[in-house]
Amino acid sequence: MNCETARSLLAFRRPGGPAELAPEDAAALARHCAACPACAALASRDAAFDTAVASAMKAVPVPVGLRDRLVASARTGQAARLRRTVGFRLAFAASVMATGALGYGGYLKFFLPAPDATEFVKNNENAMDAPENEVALWLSSQSLPPHLPLDFDYRLFRDRGTEPFQGRDVPVVRFDAPAANGRQDWVKVYILRDTQFNLRNLKSLQTAEGSLCFAQVDRDPAHPGVAYVYVFTTPTLKPFLKATTHHLARAASDRVSPDAICRG
């Protein structure tokens, strides 16, 4: 073995070197160093340097709890990475769901019917051309008798709908008399059901003193579960009835307090 080969093998003999020497190479290197003073001196210096470095490293004090801190730091980093991963996946899932919801909403909107203005016109023309039929159909849709007890003049028909009364929605039909002296007179026909109110003592109620409205109660024997309360601004109901009507007397004596429903 020559010196060049021997010196290249010295690095492999160091502790922690790249690899261990094969037994035959280690024996050949030992024989060469025994015969070559220069290579022996180089090997001795390398060994002394390695020993000094190892001693210095071992002399450095290890802080108390360093191992636990390193483990905790590693776990914290792992937890943070896990949270980031989970958060990203949740955000991605939420974005997918939101996109799907928007797409589904757009799909539903695509199949919604387009508004047809002619339907609005037709519905209002029906109410103008045949208001009595319009009211009858509406009353039937409310599960009420289709005809009012009194023979109202439907040329005066104004509107129909519901109004809140004592915490319940009550069906009501309104008629307006021609305005006179700047005053608009009207009558509202409230239809009360016995499923909403106790109608047994309705006749015993009285009109409040000083009220600007009058009120009358009407009952139809054919429909005992329904009561009609007429609230009006004229002394009698005559201005709102057809000229040939003879039904007003039936309701003239039954009066009810209009305070809660006389709104104008």
User: Which has the higher per-residue pLDDT, 255 or 179?
Assistant: 179
243: burial class by Cβ within 10 Å (0-12, 13-18, 19+)? exposed
User: Is residue 181 over pLDDT 80?
Assistant: no
Side chain identity at residue 255, one-letter code = R
For 132, the enclosing helix (H) or strand (E) is helix 131-141
Contact 216, 237 (CB under 8 A): yes
Q: pLDDT-based confidence at 67, cuts 50/70/90?
A: confident
The pLDDT of residue 127 is 54
Q: What is the mean pLDDT of the chain?
A: 79
